[in-house]
Amino acid sequence: MQEIPFSIPVSGVVRINEGSITITINRAETAISFESAHTKQKRISLEKGRTLFDVVLETAREMVIMTGENRFSAAQLYGVALERYPTLKRNSWGSHVIASAANHPSQRYYGSKRDYFRYLGDGTYSLKDIYLDKSNEKINQQ
């Protein structure tokens, strides 16, 4: 058997669009379409019957257990919630936290009021006693 080495000049273009890739080599063209696993969602998707207020309360309880302190900011809560809900909007989150603190000076501007937190001033909040985990004695003594 005899081998003869040779080379052929090939020119091509690869075009990558949002949902497809097109490969053109000389005069031949092939297109591949796909759905992105990370499609951009514009809205947060919650289970039926759950609201963003439920997520705010759940995240605050989780934060208190995680840190062992009943003192947190809306930004700290947002960081924790963002891990579970990556499409969460920061402004919506801040609004819901303010609306969840009955003594916050701006709560009067929100139609759906909750009473989960005490506003301590300077952007910090604490979870009201009725929402604390009663088994965590360190937190209950604060």
Model pLDDT, residue 32: 87
* Range 36-44 average pLDDT: 62
**pLDDT at residue 140 in the model:** 46
| HEC assignment per residue over 124-140 | EEEECHHHCCCCCHHHH
pLDDT number for residue 86: 87
The pLDDT > 90 percentage for the chain reads 49
Q: Enter the pTM of the model.
A: 0.66
CB 83 within 8 A of CB 127: no
Question: What does the pLDDT read at residue 26?
Answer: 81
> Structure tokens of 89?
């909007």
- For residues 137 and 142, give the distance between their C-alpha atoms in angstroms, rounded to a whole number: 9
User: Which ranges of the chain would DSSP assign to H, the alpha helix?
Assistant: 52-67, 74-84, 90-99, 137-140
Among 97, 131, 135, 136, residue whose Cα is nearest residue 114:
97
In this prediction, residue 111 carries a pLDDT of: 82
Every domain of the chain and the residues it spans: 52-140
Instruction: Name, in order, each residue with C-beta under 8 angstroms of 8's C-beta and a sequence gap of 6 or more.
Output: none
Average pLDDT, the chain: 86
Determine the pLDDT at residue 39: 54
Instruction: Supply the pLDDT for residue 101.
Output: 94
What is the residue-wise DSSP string for 83-99? HH-TT--HHHHHHHHHH
**Single-letter amino acid code for the residue at 132:** L
| Other Cβ atoms within 10 Å of 110 Cβ, number | 14
Q: What is the pLDDT of residues 60-117, one digit of tens each?
A: 999 999 999 999 999 999 999 999 888 889 999 999 999 999 999 999 898 888 899 9
